[in-house]
Amino acid sequence: MNNDRKILLHICCAPDGSVPVPDLIAEGWDVTGYFYGSNIHPFDEYSKRLEALNILIAHNSIPCEVSSYRPEEWLENVKGLENEPEGGKRCTECFKCQFNSAALTAKRLGCEYLSTTLTISPHKNVSLINSLGESIASSYGLKWETRIWRKNNGFLRSIKASHELGLYRQNYCGCIFSKN
């Protein structure tokens, strides 16, 4: 048990949050979700993912902060990296952008810890994600909770949980470049 320590969990999408959210709650964390979303294109897709997020947070009875949709701001952050392959430098900047935004929210809400659901994906570089998270969290005076959610069948469990909750599962990472 973690004595109800406050953690802000960056939820990249509802299916990826479907295991971390209940697992952290079961461990005794006081969980607040955070959804960035400005990397997602087009707006219709953003709306579908937000709808799925709302199902997840209602099911787990947690609060969740949703950033306003500002795709221009996100595009500015990845300028010059449009042609990078998935998993390349654009994704590193995308993670930084999302974690900085999440860290600001964690500070505002008085959360001591920060973490992400991104490491449930079998396609993501978990070492990179956790090292970026740790460095950004520490620059805001926060503690990074290192997790590799895909361990112990995490990804398979998330598919099952998403199916049970009827969550929309996207077929591309999110940005216009990953869609194309």
If one asks whether residue 178 binds ligand SF4 (CB under 6 A), the answer comes out as yes
CB of 39 or CB of 130, closer to ligand SF4: 39
Nearer Cβ to ligand SF4 (29/95): 95
Joined together, the tokens standing for residue 29 give 């964390």
The residue with tokens 């290192």 is: 146
Question: Scanning residues 86 to 125, which ones bind ligand SF4 (CB under 6 A)?
Answer: 86, 90-91, 94
Residue (16 or 111) nearer to ligand SF4, CB: 16
Least separation in angstroms between residue 178's CB and ligand SF4 is 4
User: Among 19-27, 84-92, 145-153, 157-165, which window interacts with ligand SF4 (CB under 6 A)?
Assistant: 84-92
Binding to ligand SF4 in span 33-62, by CB under 6 A: 39
Distance CA 20, CA 47 (A): 22
Residue with smaller CB distance to ligand SF4, 15 or 174: 174
The residues that touch ligand SF4, with contacts defined as CB under 6 A, are 39, 86, 90-91, 94, 173-175, 177-178
